Amino acid sequence: MSDTLLTVRDLRVVYPGEQEAFVALRGVGFTLGRERLGIVGESGSGKSTAGRAIMGLLPRSARIEASELRLGTTDLLRLDERGFRRLRGKRVAMVLQDPRYALNPMMTVGRQIAETHRTHLRSTAAAARKAALAMLEAVRLHDPARVYDLYPHEVSGGMGQRAMIAMMLIADPEILIADEPTSALDATVQLQVLAILDELVRRRGMGLILISHNLHLVSGFCDRVLVMYAGRVVETCVASRLAEARHPYTRGLLASLPELGHRRPELPQLQRDPAWLADTAFP
Amino acid sequence: MIALQKVGVSFGTGATRIDAVRDVSFVVDAGESFGLVGESGSGKSTVLRAIAGLIAHARGDIALAGKPVGRRRSKADRKLVQMVFQDPYGSLHPEHTVDQILVDPIAIHRLGDAGRRVARALAEVGLGPEHRFRYPHQLSGGQRQRVAIARALILEPRILLLDEPTSALDVSVQAEILNLLTRLRREHGLTMLMVSHDLAVIAHLCERIAVMSHGAIVEQTTAERLATSTVDHPYTQELLRSNKGFRREEGEGLCPSTPAKADPLQSIT
Ligand SMILES: Nc1ncnc2c1ncn2[C@@H]1O[C@H](COP(=O)(O)OP(=O)(O)OP(=O)(O)O)[C@@H](O)[C@H]1O
Ligand SMILES: Nc1ncnc2c1ncn2[C@@H]1O[C@H](COP(=O)(O)OP(=O)(O)OP(=O)(O)O)[C@@H](O)[C@H]1O
Ligand SMILES: [Mg+2]
Ligand SMILES: [Mg+2]
């Protein structure tokens, strides 16, 4: 299953600053097929920035360069805001980090999902409502009818994440970028939500980019994993073999995981090596 | 240090009324770390918010440091207990720089020495001087979470309420924060109440743990018992099973413990 849905080559993103500009991505490259691609990495290494660049959601002031940024046959580098608007939701959707604040605070959760359905599928209000309720149920919300009428500040963290996932899946996108989509879900619901995503990848051939700090989740769920550090991909591995990763940053991550049933008074802390910022290849 | 007696919180009225927290009682001793785990939507954040005095209509009795606290909290009460919220984005003023966010509480409580305190708090959570004059939207998710932790610590509270404090952090930064909390507890006798979905994180920091489901505590257990899977309530057992994560059978995809209904998804094609 390797027809390429997305190609990213040498992506650089610079945020201008008052004193000096900040280079958030320094030449990131990967392709995405009909697979589950995991991205793990340092906090602040540019994972969300990469997702937002693909979605055309970076602040206007950010400078984006790449030798290639292509969604199927669409060249994203040449797309204007109108073009991106046509694309978002339908072809590529993104579950944002902090979903309760990414949703519109003035509109109930259910209406926002229904509106998305109407926009992309040109459905009637009744059909959209029905689809939204079904989607809320699919993401395992206990009482979909109640949640439909809640405003974002009235749902719990995990309910907000599921509402956002529902909203992003409702138009059946080709690619889903999920930025920490399950960090506020208990283990049981997390499994159920991931099962839905898995189903979409296997049955519909959706491409999934899963950004997560949960190493167990990524290695158990994904096919491949990219490890990011300071704006670059420092290592790519087969997900199930993440434990055998070689880059010292990845090794350090694995070492600092707390383990149930193996309590240590102090967790090992990573000693960051300036050499990791250099262009060394860890295949 | 923290004592809850039959605390209840409901939202809404009539058909949409929900009892988010039902008769929750527990005690956390001074210097103890107590964990709260449970289902998404089971009322964990609501319990923390009630303790922080953010829910005016909470029922039942809450005592902090041996004194019952009422609906209106004094400035001293507010310094006693600080909370790290689940969504750092929502709890940080969008138009304030990190510096202002951290200086504000120092000014309100007249602690003085703001410059040094801010620099130290930032260093403790692994942020550099380059982050100090940024706005929240100019930070990554994990950087915002660390600002929220720094803001809670800067007043040197005796009680810290932590709602998923490390969920947006990579595990190396998580280790640094957990070690920092362990040290504060050891050196200053900090009392902590922590919510997390990560059982390993909870068991690392907390000895005693309460499990919530549908607004109520269904079981009080220990890190030890979680680790050895000797828990009593079926919900806790289910949680431990799910915690083992995915089994992907060859070519078969995932096997969740309860298969997701396929039909709702069908309706959207
Ligand atoms: N608007 C902005 N202006 C300046 N710098 C920014 C801006 N947005 C993000 N950054 C910086 O860019 C870097 C990458 O941010 P990004 O949000 O992509 O990180 P991330 O890998 O998603 O981290 P996390 O795991 O903490 O969410 C961070 O160091 C952040 O401080
Ligand atoms: N302001 C509000 N108005 C209406 N309902 C609310 C409000 N705040 C919380 N609730 C409801 O109370 C219940 C408990 O929410 P709470 O945020 O405490 O859950 P939680 O255990 O923290 O879940 P999570 O792990 O997903 O964060 C939810 O059903 C939620 O919809
Ligand atoms: Mg991020
Ligand atoms: Mg919560």
**Which residue in chain A has the smallest CA separation from B237?**
A188
Other Cβ atoms less than 10 A from the Cβ of B20: the count is: 23
Mean pLDDT (chain B) is 88
ipTM of predicted assembly, 2 dp? 0.90
Q: How confident is the model at residue B90 (pLDDT cuts 50, 70, 90)?
A: confident
Q: Is the CB of residue B199 less than 8 Å away from at least one CB of chain A?
A: yes
Instruction: Say if ligand 2 is within 6 A of residue B20 CB.
Output: yes
User: Mean pLDDT throughout B25-32?
Assistant: 97
Boundary of a domain, candidates A154, A172, A190:
A172
Nearest CA to ligand 1 atom 7: B138
Residue A77 domain boundaries: 1-91+175-283
Q: Which two tokens stand for residue A280?
A: 């060394």
The backbone torsions φ and ψ at residue B9, rounded to the nearest 5 degrees and listed phi first, read: -140, 130
Which atom in ligand 1 lies closest to the alpha carbon of residue B139?
31
Is residue B265 predicted with pLDDT exceeding 90?
A: no
Q: Tell me the CATH number at A59.
A: 3.40.50.300
Query: A-chain residues within 8 Å CB-CB of B140?
Result: 43-44, 48
- Cβ distance B148 to B136 under 8 Å? no
Instruction: Say if ligand 1 is within 6 A of residue B133 CB.
Output: no
**Which residue in chain B has the smallest CA separation from A118?**
B268
Residues A261 and A190 in one domain: yes
User: Mean pLDDT throughout B18-39?
Assistant: 96
The backbone torsions φ and ψ at residue B64, rounded to the nearest 5 degrees and listed phi first, read: -125, 135
Cα dihedral sign for B246, B248, B253, B256? negative
Helices (H), B65-170: 75-80, 88-91, 98-108, 114-124, 141-154
Residues A191 and A105 in one domain: no
Query: B-chain residues within 8 Å CB-CB of A40?
Result: 170
Q: What is the pLDDT of residue B154?
A: 94
**B141 CA to centre of ligand 1 in angstroms:** 7
Q: What is the pLDDT of residue B78?
A: 83
Which residue from B4, B154, B27 is spatially nearest to B79, judged by alpha carbons? B154
Q: Mapped to the 3 state alphabet, what secondary structure does B88-101 carry?
A: HHHHCCCCCCHHHH
Taking the CA of B24 as reference, the closest ligand is 2
Edge-to-edge strand list for the sheet holding B208-213: B81-84, B159-163, B191-195, B33-38, B208-213, B216-222
- Cβ distance A24 to A231 under 8 Å? yes
Residues A187 and A84 in one domain: yes
Residues A233 and A248 in one domain: yes
A222 vs A205: CA distance, rounded Å: 14
Residues A268 and A241 in one domain: yes
The backbone torsions φ and ψ at residue B76, rounded to the nearest 5 degrees and listed phi first, read: -65, -40
pLDDT in tens, B139-175: 999 999 999 999 999 999 999 999 999 988 999 999 9
Is residue B252 predicted with pLDDT exceeding 60?
A: no
Query: B-chain residues within 8 Å CB-CB of A264?
Result: 204
Q: What is the pLDDT of residue A278?
A: 74
Q: What is the pLDDT of residue A263?
A: 83
Q: Which of B130, B170, B179 sits opposite A41 (nearest CB)?
A: B170
Percent helix, percent strand, percent coil in chain B, to nearest 5:
40, 25, 35
Residues A239 and A210 in one domain: yes
User: Mean pLDDT throughout B3-22?
Assistant: 93
A211 CA: distance to closest CA in chain B (Å): 11
Q: What is the pLDDT of residue B70?
A: 78
**Which residue in chain B has the smallest CA separation from A228?**
B170
Q: What is the pLDDT of residue B253?
A: 41
Q: Which of A101, A155, A188 sits opposite B238 (nearest CB)?
A: A188
Q: How far is CA B143 from the centre of its chain?
A: 17
How many CA atoms within 13 Å lie on the side-chain side of B26? Answer: 23
A82 CA: distance to closest CA in chain B (Å): 24
Is residue B107 predicted with pLDDT exceeding 80?
A: yes
Domain count of the fold of chain A: 2
Q: What is the pLDDT of residue B256?
A: 42
Boundary of a domain, candidates A172, A200, A221:
A172
Q: Which of A189, A213, A266 sits opposite B179 (nearest CB)?
A: A266
Residues A179 and A267 in one domain: yes
Nearest CA to ligand 2 atom 10: A154
Q: What is the pLDDT of residue B248?
A: 57
User: Mean pLDDT throughout B220-241?
Assistant: 92
Q: Do A98 and B228 touch (CB under 8 A)?
A: no
Taking the CA of A24 as reference, the closest ligand is 1
A123 vs B98: CA distance, rounded Å: 44
Q: Do A213 and B228 touch (CB under 8 A)?
A: no
Residue whose tokens read 């991931």 = A194
Q: Which two tokens stand for residue B119?
A: 């620099």
| Amino acid present at A201 | V
Cα dihedral sign for A237, A238, A239, A240? negative
**A58 CA to centre of ligand 3 in angstroms:** 13
| Amino acid present at B6 | K
Interface of B with A in 234-253 (CB under 8 A): 238-239, 242-243, 245-248, 253
Residues A108 and A245 in one domain: no
Report the relative pairing of strands B253-254 and B248-249 from DSSP bridges.
antiparallel
CATH of span B30-40+72-253: 3.40.50.300
Which residue from A207, A220, A106, A199 is spatially nearest to A154, judged by alpha carbons? A106
Is residue B118 predicted with pLDDT exceeding 50?
A: yes
Is residue B138 predicted with pLDDT exceeding 90?
A: yes
Q: What is the pLDDT of residue B247?
A: 60
Q: Do B179 and A213 touch (CB under 8 A)?
A: no
What DSSP assignment string belongs to B49-60? HHHTT--TT-EE
**B264 CA to centre of ligand 3 in angstroms:** 30
Q: What is the pLDDT of residue B119?
A: 95
Boundary of a domain, candidates A107, A142, A172:
A172
- Cβ distance A209 to A39 under 8 Å? yes
Other Cβ atoms less than 10 A from the Cβ of B143: the count is: 22
Q: What is the pLDDT of residue A264?
A: 87
Residues A56 and A196 in one domain: yes
Q: What is the pLDDT of residue B177?
A: 93
pLDDT in tens, A15-67: 998 778 999 999 999 999 999 999 999 999 999 999 999 999 999 999 999 99
Nearest CA to ligand 1 atom 14: A46
Q: What is the pLDDT of residue B72?
A: 78
For chain B, the structural domain boundaries read 30-40+72-253
Residues A23 and A155 in one domain: no
Which CA distances in Å does B118 have to A6, A203, B89, B103, B127? 43, 52, 19, 7, 11
- Cβ distance A233 to A227 under 8 Å? yes
Lowest mean pLDDT among A148-152, B31-35, B236-240: B236-240
> Where does residue B142 rank: exposed (0-12), middle (13-18), buried (19+ CB within 10 A)?
buried
Q: What is the pLDDT of residue A280?
A: 52
How open is the CA angle A237-A238-A243, to the nearest 5 degrees? 75
Cα dihedral sign for A40, A44, A48, A52? negative
Helix (H) or strand (E) holding B10: strand B2-11
Q: What is the pLDDT along chain A (283 residues), one digit of tens a residue?
A: 458 999 999 999 999 987 789 999 999 999 999 999 999 999 999 999 999 999 999 999 999 999 999 999 999 999 999 999 999 988 999 999 888 888 999 999 999 999 999 999 999 999 999 999 999 999 999 899 999 999 999 999 999 999 999 999 999 999 999 999 999 899 888 999 999 999 999 989 999 999 999 999 999 999 999 999 999 999 999 999 999 999 999 999 999 999 888 888 899 888 888 888 876 555 4
Quick one: DSSP state of residue A98? S
Residues A121 and A37 in one domain: no
Q: Which of B130, B138, B260 sits opposite A138 (nearest CB)?
A: B260
